Amino acid sequence: MGIERDRFLIVNADDFGQSTGVNEGVVATHERGIVTSASLMVRWPAAAAAAVYARARPTLSVGLHVDLGEWVRRGDEWRPLYEVVDLHDRVAIQAEMASQLTMFRDLLGRDPTHLDSHQHVHRSEPARSVCQRAAATLGVPLRWYSDAIRYCGAFYGQSGDGHPVPDAIRTPALIGTLARLPAGVTELGCHPATGDTAESMYGPERASELETLCDPAVRATLAEEGIVLCSFASLPERVV
């Protein structure tokens, strides 16, 4: 097979370590569904349990989910649920990035296989260049900024302004997304959990994602479409 013609899919679960429910969702979708990778939030109490599981499961690729804060929609504006650092302070972001990378290494005993960030805050400066520099130093992909790996965020149960879009995380929608995947390597983001995450803007949607990701019809679609599941740690040859 060659990556020019064939389709490879990384299914990456964000927020690993944020709560027991999220951990349970990642475990379930890795063992019974199609999740192949996860991104670890190292600052949260459940991160240690997530790391214990990951160290015993080499089939699960684990990256660093850089956590600089979370924002929720209140009326017509986004307001902070919590903020780790000022997103305009490059020095503070660099220090926090270094701290979270150290915590990741302490928990996992190795470097992350990939980098991304909570609520995609690294898409704006100065977080973008800080994360790009870290990814280059580590020699790993950074979400949205890898020439070889396309990111797909279609499997998400809210609109850009925070309104529920439940059909987007049901089986028919995911099957449609899979059927439309282009050639090469695609990362599909997801956020499974066993129940609500009360302190997160993304709560009840997580259980729906878990159900869909474990639906046998989804795996059957992968087989029918000839889509090969892989992870950041098991990328096809010639992908950098």
Tell me the catalytic residues: 14
Orientation of helix 90-108 relative to helix 127-138, angle to 10°:
40
Of 37, 5, 1, 7, nearest in space to 181 by CA: 7
Please, which residues bridge with residue 8 across strands?
A: 185, 228
DSSP for 37-48, please give it: EEEE-TTSTTHH
For residue 183, give both structure tokens. Answer: 């050639």
Euclidean distance between the first and the last CA atom of the chain, given in angstroms as a whole number: 17
Burial of 66 from C-beta contacts in 10 A (0-12 / 13-18 / 19+): buried
Distance, in Å, from the CA atom of 202 to the CA atom of 103, rounded to the nearest integer, reads 25
DSSP, collapsed to helix, strand or coil, labels residue 200 as coil
120 conformational bin, left if phi > 0, alpha if psi -120 to 50, beta if neither: left
Radius of gyration of the chain from its Cα atoms, rounded to whole angstroms: 17
DSSP, collapsed to helix, strand or coil, labels residue 26 as helix
Distance, in Å, from the CA atom of 187 to the CA atom of 132, rounded to the nearest integer, reads 18
